[in-house]
Each structure stands twice: as C-alpha cells, then as structure tokens.
Structure 1
Amino acid sequence: MNETITFRNPTIDDGAAIWKVVKDSGVLDLNSAYLYLLLSKDFAETCAVAEMNGEIVGFITGYRPPGRESVIFVWQIGVDASARGKGLGKRLVSYLLRSQGARGASILETTISPSNDASRALFRGIARDLGVPCEVRPCFAASQFPGTGHEDEELFRIGPYDLSQPNQLIEF
C-alpha cells in the first residue's frame, strides 16, 4: 500500500500530537505540552508537521534566532515509529528550508549530542546534498544542563546554501 505523506505548517490543534510523537519516541527530550502548543501557535512558520492517513507522523520545530537573519535553527525533529525508514526527517528539513519561515536564510543550525548517530548522519547528509560545508563545534556542555544524564550538545552549522541553485536536496 502506497501511503501518501503530506507536509504543512502546524496549527495549535497539532501541539498535542507533536508532544505525543516526542513522548512515544523515548529518545527525544520531552518538553511540556504547553511548549509544543506555543511553537504551533507563535512559530508555525518555522515548524512543520507530516501527516499520513490523517495522523501526524512527524514534525520539525525551528526558529529564526533574533539578530541572525541568515540562520534557521532546527530545534527538534521527530518521526513516529509507523513512518520511520521513509526518509521523513530529511523531507521535513527540505520542507522547512523551502518554507516562507526560512526565506532569506542561508545557514542551517542545530545542536546534536555526540551519541546521536542518526541525527549526525542526517545533517551531514543534508550538507552533502546541498554541496556546502558542515561545521561542528561545541555548544552546550553536559555540566550546563540541570540534573544528570544529558550529554554535551554540539552545534552543527551548515552552509551557506542557496536553494535557487541546483542541488540534490530531496523534495518533500
């Protein structure tokens, strides 16, 4: 069965479903449901959801850092177990980079922990597909997180990219 996945910006009504994808993943940092509602309301232009059969099966959250107009920052990407293995993470990034909320950006940033091999491969692959550098440097030390158990977070800085030029970034 060929299941179609559609992409769109979230609405407030999607906040709970995004929270559930994070919770069910068992690996993403689970924030309060309120935060996902807020992101879906006030940052919808820099976030997206993926739907399959009327259900949200993936999301990407991001924002434009104040004072850094050339940057789009990806905060979280989550894919439900039912949609894994379909290249959905890369397709969500592609959708975001082509969205109104990312217009004018030429640098993609995110932070990734050293043990998150899947995310590291995803973002290095995006840099490769765009034909641009991927610089990795320290960002947040484990000691800066409250409590225990959180790893360092390294900043991945991809670009500068130009989506008006031919590239191999997967279409959404």
Structure 2
Amino acid sequence: MPEIIGDEPKSKPRTRAPRLRKPDAKDGAEIWALVRDCKPLDENSMYCNLIQADHFRDTCVVAELDGDVVGWISGHMIPNEDAFFVWQVAVSPKARGLGLGKKMLLHLLERDACADAAELKTTITEDNDASWALFRSFARAIGGELTDEPHFDEEAHFDGRHDTEHMVTITLPEEFDLKQAA
C-alpha cells in the first residue's frame, strides 16, 4: 500500500536507473527505431538490427528505462584479435545525462564473451563530438590509453559519400574496477 501524505498517496518515483540486458530478436524493431532517432548515427536496415540482437546478443546490450529501449550498443570480438569492436552506441534523448553510454560499455566488458579483450576499438568521424567525448571519458575512467588514426578513408573506402572514419583504440588494463569506473 502506498504511503499516504496528507490526503494524497505518495507515488513511487519512476526509476532513473536503466536495466541493462542482452537483446533478443524481438528487440530488433525497437533498436532500429532508436538508432534512426539518434542522429548522426548511420541507419542500418531493421533486418540488420534484428540479426545483431539475435546472433550477436552476447556482445550487444540494450538499456531499458520504464519499459522502453533507451540505449543500444552493438559490438563483436574481432576475429583473430584480442579486441572488442564497438559498432554503434545509441542513447535516446530521454536517457541522456545518465552516463548510460559508459555504463553499457562497462557492462559489456564484464561479459564472458569479452573476457579475452585486451583492447576496445571503434571508428568515429572527426565531427562526432558526442562519440569522442564518450570514448575519451571511458578511457580515463578505466585508466586505458586512447589512440586514433584514419582507417576508412572518405575517398578510398566511401567513394566520397561518407567522412573518413578514425580507428580509435583503447588499451584495456589487465585489471580495473568496473564498478568504480561507472
């Protein structure tokens, strides 16, 4: 029974602590809609997001807040490397300011599927300030070194239709306190 203050019941506050979990195929459409709403992210097909949520669920994460998917990271271990590659990070405007991007990254690194990762890699265009801020903050929080270099070139790889993507590499210390880094 809710606590009564005066004549009004004290309502339970809505949570601001997102629930992080592995995605499943049923999340595909909601993930696709989230990515579409998070400019400047490149949109994939809904089918691509469905396959990521189904086939790569061990290295992807969704964040739910009040029953809605408000965060998403897709990633995978790079074959023949000890590196976890982050493909996309999407955070809904209604969940911004909660440190959700960093929390999702830390959550993924705690998973068995990422246990052999010595590095985290991602690609970022020069003008994506939000992504640069997230990954720099993440590197500082865990005590990792961040480096970058042009990787997928605007002309050589994208036929002039997309800005150059820089490969960002963050060394993952052998031991770091994930809870403290959050």
When the two structures are superposed, what TM-score results if normalisation uses the length of structure 1? 0.91
Partner of residue 116 from structure 1, selected from 122, 128, 148? 128
> Which residue is 1:51 aligned to?
64
Alignment of 1:1-172 (within 5 A): 1=13, 2-68=15-81, 70-143=82-155, 144-146=157-159, 148=161, 150-162=162-174, 164-166=175-177, 168-170=180-182
Is the 1:4–1:53 Cα contact (8 Å) retained in structure 2? no
Q: Structure 2, unaligned stretches of length 5 or more?
A: 1-12
Is the 1:73–1:110 Cα contact (8 Å) retained in structure 2? yes
Amino acid at match of 1:31: N
Instruction: Give the drift of 1:166.
Output: 3.9
Q: Matched residues in 2 for 1:31 and 1:146: separation?
A: 19
Counting matched residue pairs gives 167
Q: Structure 1, unaligned stretches of length 5 or more?
A: none
State the Cα deviation string for residues 103-146 of structure 1 (Å, max 9, x = none). Answer: 12121000000001111111111111111211111110111115
Q: Percent identity?
A: 39
Instruction: Give the drift of 1:5.
Output: 0.8
Instruction: Give the drift of 1:4.
Output: 2.8
Amino acid at match of 1:5: P
Pair 1:166–1:31, CA change in 2 (3 A): closer
Q: Matched residues in 1 for 2:160 and 2:27: separation?
A: 30
Pair 1:133–1:41, CA change in 2 (3 A): same
Q: Which runs of structure 1 show a deviation greater than 2 angstroms over 4 or more consecutive aligned residues?
A: 1-4, 164-168
Q: Matched residues in 1 for 2:19 and 2:76: separation?
A: 21
The higher relative CO (CA closer than 8 Å, separation ≥ 6) is in: 1
Instruction: Give the drift of 1:54.
Output: 1.1
Q: Matched residues in 1 for 2:39 and 2:137: separation?
A: 24
Q: Matched residues in 2 for 1:147 and 1:33: separation?
A: 25
Q: Matched residues in 2 for 1:123 and 1:11: separation?
A: 26
Q: Matched residues in 2 for 1:24 and 1:107: separation?
A: 29
When the two structures are superposed, what TM-score results if normalisation uses the length of structure 2? 0.87
Structure with greater Cα Rg: 2
Q: Over the residues paired in the alignment, what is the CA RMSD in angstroms?
A: 1.4
State the Cα deviation string for residues 71-114 of structure 1 (Å, max 9, x = none). Answer: 10000000111111111111111111111221121210000000
